[in-house]
Amino acid sequence: MTRWMAKVSLLISCFILLTGCWDSKEVQSINFITAVGIDYVDNQYVAYAQLIDFSSIAKQEGPTSRQASDIWIGRGEGSTLSMAIDDLYQTSQQQTLWTHVKAIVLSKNVLNGRLEDVFNTLLHSGQLRYTPWLYGTEHNITDVLSPSALLNQSAQTIELFEPMKLYKQHSGYEPIRLHQLLDGFREPASVILLPSITNQNQTWYNGDETPPLIRMDGFYVISNGKNQGRVTGKDADGTRFVNYDRVYQYPLYVYSNGSKMPELTLRLNNPKTKIKARKEGNGVTFDLITSVKGAIIEDHDSHRSPHVMEKAAEKQIESEIRNTFEKTKSRKVDSYGFVEHLYRHDLPLWRQAVYKRTNPLEGFKLGKVEVHVKILNASTYKYDE
C-alpha cells in the first residue's frame, strides 16, 4: 500500500510541474502593435507603431467612451528600417509583439523606390503575418494612425482594420492584403492597385466637430516594385470595370444633355471584362467586352423601357472606361494592367511592344469597347407602352 501511495504522490507531483507556465505573461504586460506606418524622410526611415488600449476593445454590452489615451503612437528613426524599429523598443517599457498587426500604411516617399527594402526587413522579422491590410497615403502617418470611430465604438472596428465590410456595401477602391502585393511584387509585368487612404472627414459631425475618420480616396498603381502614380476620383472610375477582382455593388449615375443631375441611378455588381489585344502598326490595340448586372435605384423618367435604360447605362460605362484610359495613359500609369495582360496571354507581343521600352503605354490604344448591361429588377416596374 505504501508503495502504491508513493507512485500516486510521484504522479501528482509530475502533473503539478507540467501544468505550470513559468514564462507566461498577462496580456496587459505586452505591447501588441495593431498597425504600422513607415515613412522615409531626409535619408532616414521613420517607423510608426500603433498601440490600442485593451480596455477600449474589450467585449461590452454597448459602446465605451473613447479617450485620447486609447491610442498610442510610437515613432522610431534610423538610417535603415531595422534601426528605426529598434529605436521604438528603447522606450516601449515592456515586450513588444508584431503578431497582431492588422494594417500597414506606407508613405508616398516609401512607395517611390523603397518598397524592396521595407518588405525585406518586415518579413525577415518572422513575427509579421502575411494578412495585414496594406495602404498608401500622402498624409501625415501619425494622423492616419490616430483616427476616430463613430458612436464611440472601438478603434479596431474602423475601415483601416475591417475594409471589406464597407467595400461590400460600397465598392469604391478595392482593399488588398500584404500577400496579394507580394504575389506579384517581383513579377516583371504585374500591376497592383494599392488603395490610398486619408483621415480627412467632411461628412460626419459630432456637435460642431468633424472628427478624423479613415476613408479610401484612390489607389496607387504599383508595377515592377515601383509606384507609377496615384489615381483618384473620376479618373479611377473605369478601372472598376476592367481591373478589379470583385465589385460587390457600386452606384452608376447616368447623365444626359450635360445635366448636373443624373436621370438614372443603377446599383451595379460583379462586372466582368474580357480583353483582346491585337498588333496594329507599331503599337497594340485593346478591345474590351464588359458585362455587368444592375438594379434600378432611381429613375426620373417612368416611361422609359428597361432596354432604353440599359443602353443609356452602357453608353455611360463606355465613356468612363475610355476617359480613365486616356487620363491614366497621359500620366504613364497602367491602371488597366494591359502590360500584364500581354505578358500573361501574348508573350511574343509583350516582348515586341513592351520589353525594354521606357513608356510602352505610348503605343497602346483602345479599340472597340462593348458594354452589356442587364437590369435585373426591371420586371418590378410598370411602363406605358
| 315/369 Cα distance (integer angstroms) | 10
pTM: 0.85
**How do residues 277-307 score in pLDDT, each as one tens digit?**
999 988 999 999 999 999 999 887 767 888 9
| 8 Å CB contact between 214 and 364 | no
**How do residues 76-102 score in pLDDT, each as one tens digit?**
999 999 999 999 888 767 777 888 899
Parallel, antiparallel, or unpaired for β 96-97 and 31-41? parallel
Please count the CA atoms within 13 angstroms of the CA of 304 that sit on its side-chain side: 16
Mean pLDDT of 348-358: 90
Sheet with 250-254, side-by-side order of all strands: 250-254, 264-280, 283-299, 364-375
Task: Return the minimum-mean-pLDDT range out of 48-62, 155-169, 183-197, 312-326.
Answer: 48-62
Q: Name the one residue in this structure whose C-alpha cell is 503578431.
A: 99
Strands (E), the chain: 31-41, 44-52, 71-78, 96-97, 103-107, 133-137, 191-198, 215-223, 226-231, 250-254, 264-280, 283-299, 364-375
Q: Name the one residue in this structure whose C-alpha cell is 479613415.
A: 214
Domain boundaries, the chain: 246-385
- What pLDDT sits at residue 1? 54
Per-residue CA distances from 277 to 30, 123, 322 (Å) = 55, 37, 16
Q: How does DSSP classify residue 136?
A: E
Mean pLDDT of 334-349: 95
Band of pLDDT at residue 229, cut at 50, 70 and 90: very high
Query: Which residues 6+ apart lie within 8 Å of 30 measured at CB?
Result: 94, 95, 96, 97
Tell me if the domain spanning 246-385 has CATH number 3.30.300.210: yes
- Percent helix, strand, coil in the chain, to 5, is 35, 30, 35
